[in-house]
Amino acid sequence: MNDLQKNIYKVIVSIIETDGILEKFEDKKNYGEKKIIDNSSIRYGILNYVAKYSLANNSYFITSKCYEYLNNIGLMKKGKLLRGSKGSKNRFTFEHPVPSNVIADEIIKNIGDRNKIMKLLIETDLVTVITYEENDMINECGFTNEMPENSFVQMDMFARYKISGVEVPSRKIEVYGAIARWA
């Protein structure tokens, strides 16, 4: 966990520990059965910071296919990748193997347990650089914003990749430049 990630963790904790925040949750007893956060502005903020936590890492996983592709089009500079080069022009993206909404809901379930929240963020800090084609494969399997049944409980963080036929990455690359969530 780098310094920026430590500070983003503190922001996440600050948001969910805000006085009266529990009043914004739809279902305080049966988390996971529906969107937990009733207020969309609050939900957006939490999802954004959860995603930025992993995006703030100095290195990301990358699939072999994407690594070869980025090398071929000249985007890898001394083994590093500029974050701002992702998008439709270059046809690759940064993908969260465990969707941010799944992580956020788990964090909300654990309000008051800072150690568990930190552990969740560390365990899901797996941003992966993939091609648009690989991203489409994941989306076509129906797991755009959710995990396959029991996969999160079983700590199978790349279950969506396995089901869709996308390689579970083992290589990491360094990234640099500004962090952008919705680009």
Per-residue tens of pLDDT for the chain, all 183 residues = 999 999 999 999 998 888 877 666 655 454 444 545 555 677 788 889 999 999 999 999 999 999 999 999 999 999 899 999 999 999 999 999 999 989 998 998 888 899 999 999 999 999 999 999 999 999 999 988 899 999 988 999 999 999 999 999 999 999 999 997 654
Nearest to 118 by CA among 128, 105, 127, 107: 107
Strands 80-82, 171-176: pairing kind: parallel
pLDDT in tens, 23-60: 666 554 544 445 455 556 777 888 899 999 999 999 99
Q: What token pair was written down for 88?
A: 């439709």
Q: Report how far residue 58's alpha carbon sits from residue 89's, in angstroms, rounded to the nearest whole number.
A: 23
Q: What angle do CA 56, 73, 70 make, to 5 degrees?
A: 35
Q: Report how far residue 14's alpha carbon sits from residue 62's, in angstroms, rounded to the nearest whole number.
A: 32
In the chain, the amino acid numbered 42 is: I
Residue 88's contacts (CB-CB under 8 Å, 6 or more residues apart) are 132
- Check: CB of residue 81 under 8 Å from CB of residue 129: yes
Alpha carbon separation from 124 to 53, 94, 109, 165 (Å, rounded)? 10, 14, 16, 20
